[in-house]
Amino acid sequence: TMLALQRASALLVLFLSAFVPPPQCAQDPGMVHYIYQRFQVLEQRLQTCTQATRAYIQDFREFSKNISVMLGQCHTYTSEYKSAVNNLALRVERAQREIDYLEYLRKADMCVESEDKTLAEKLLQEAEEEKKIQTLLNASCDNMLMGIKSLKIVKKTLDTDGSWMKDASSNSPKVYFLIGSRNNTVREFANMGALLEDSTKPRPRKLILPHSWQGTGQVVYKGFLFFHNQGTPNEIVKYNLQKRTVEDRMLLPGGAGRALVYQHSPSTYIDLAVDEHGLWAIHAGPGLHAHLVLTKIEPGTLGVEHSWDTPCSSQDAEAGFLLCGVLYVVYRSGGHGPHRITCVYDPRGTISEEDLPNLFFPRRPRSHSMIHYNARDKQLYAWNDGNQIIYKLQTKRKQPVK
């Protein structure tokens, strides 16, 4: 900077010298004196400018020094702050891990409590279910099947499939005759004698149903005909036989009606049954050759009271019936062997297959279209190859529930 000022002074002197007249022409002493004074003023001002410039330079150096010191301090503070932030992050992470661990312990305690609660609820539910079943299937009926004593062919028809029955809930001698696996005409005979005579008076009363039935699993109970409605997978119709009107309907749950209930009964998808405990439904569960599902139905409201998955398979089965709340399933291996009861299911657990003797039916050339138990007659009503058959039974008292 000083060098630049000196150069500027020299240039100024040269510039002013250009206006100074040659010595031979400079004869005025006043002009010369004036010029020298101006030079002195310029020199003074240059010195003042130089001093100010030096002061500015000094101030700038001190300012730079201060800025450097402050930047160093900022760097130090930045490192300290960064270290503090890192430490804080580590503490937060450690605290989060501790919180997660405490939350894990809390959830583990909750899971243990939940498992204990679930187990307690399950035990309570099982106890309530057992109590409900005991109430539903009271011990007023304590008979178990011990043998099929004899066979009586009541009537012969040309129809291989059909069902026939009496209303076991009353003393009425009426006999109901349903021909075929798909029909809508019910013949009501005044008594068994009228069924045997058929062509003589009184003629049977014909009831034309508004819907056809499906299969041979129909039952008459408390003055109503219950049947599987043809064209529907699982609709049960309750028909008033006296008023000739449909009283109610229900859809049987549990996948009912999707498969044949018995392999050797090729038209029955839902088999209804009646015993001392009331109205039941038997159907196959899901899958090929599935196990049978047993459902207790409240006949008044058509509400489901309870359902059980049984160990009895639909494969090789031809019919089933209930006696004192116990399901008996009749099998015929390959459709040619003897008719045997080889699966028994008791919802109360009072009897099992080991408690029963070998239960054989008299040999018949074909499988049964239906076998239904009549709780009042204590007999089985069956349909086999157009023959209407009654089987007389031998029973004994069941063992008391432990």
Q: Which of 16-25, 41-50, 255-264, 305-314 has the lowest mean pLDDT?
A: 16-25
Q: Is 12 among the domain residues? A: no
Q: Is 252 among the domain residues? A: yes
How confident is the model at residue 208, as a pLDDT?
97
Residues 148 and 395: beta-carbon distance below 8 Å: no
Tell me the two tokens of residue 266.
Answer: 């090729």
Q: Is 33 among the domain residues? A: no
Band the pLDDT of 249: cuts 50, 70, 90.
very high
Q: Which of 101-105, 121-125, 210-214, 336-340 has the lowest mean pLDDT?
A: 121-125
Residue-number span of the structural domain to which 279 is assigned: 141-397
Residues 395 and 143: beta-carbon distance below 8 Å: yes
d(CA 323, CA 371): 12
Strands (E), 205-290: 205-214, 219-221, 224-228, 235-240, 245-251, 271-275, 278-284
State yes or no: pLDDT of 365 exceeds 50: yes
Residue 368: name the closest of 288, 263, 259, 257 by CA.
Answer: 263
State yes or no: pLDDT of 112 exceeds 70: no
Q: Is 5 among the domain residues? A: no
Residues 212 and 183: beta-carbon distance below 8 Å: yes
d(CA 38, CA 27): 19
**Taking phi first (over 0 means left), then psi (-120 to 50 degrees means alpha), and beta for anything else, what does residue 75 get?**
alpha
Residue 248: name the closest of 229, 267, 232 by CA.
Answer: 229
Q: Where are the alpha helices (DSSP H) in 137-212?
A: 192-197
Q: Is 240 among the domain residues? A: yes
| Pairing assessment for the beta strands 379-384 and 370-374 based on DSSP bridges | antiparallel
Residue 270: name the closest of 314, 303, 239 by CA.
Answer: 314
How confident is the model at residue 108, as a pLDDT?
74
Q: Is 149 among the domain residues? A: yes
Question: What is the rounded average pLDDT for all residues in the chain?
Answer: 85
292-306: average pLDDT: 95
State yes or no: pLDDT of 26 exceeds 50: no
Band the pLDDT of 25: cuts 50, 70, 90.
very low
Q: What is the pTM of this model?
A: 0.68
d(CA 250, CA 304): 9
Q: Is 37 among the domain residues? A: no
Domain count, the chain: 1
Q: Is 135 among the domain residues? A: no
d(CA 168, CA 186): 17
Residues 155 and 387: beta-carbon distance below 8 Å: yes
- For residue 228, the domain's CATH number is 2.120.10
State yes or no: pLDDT of 357 exceeds 70: yes
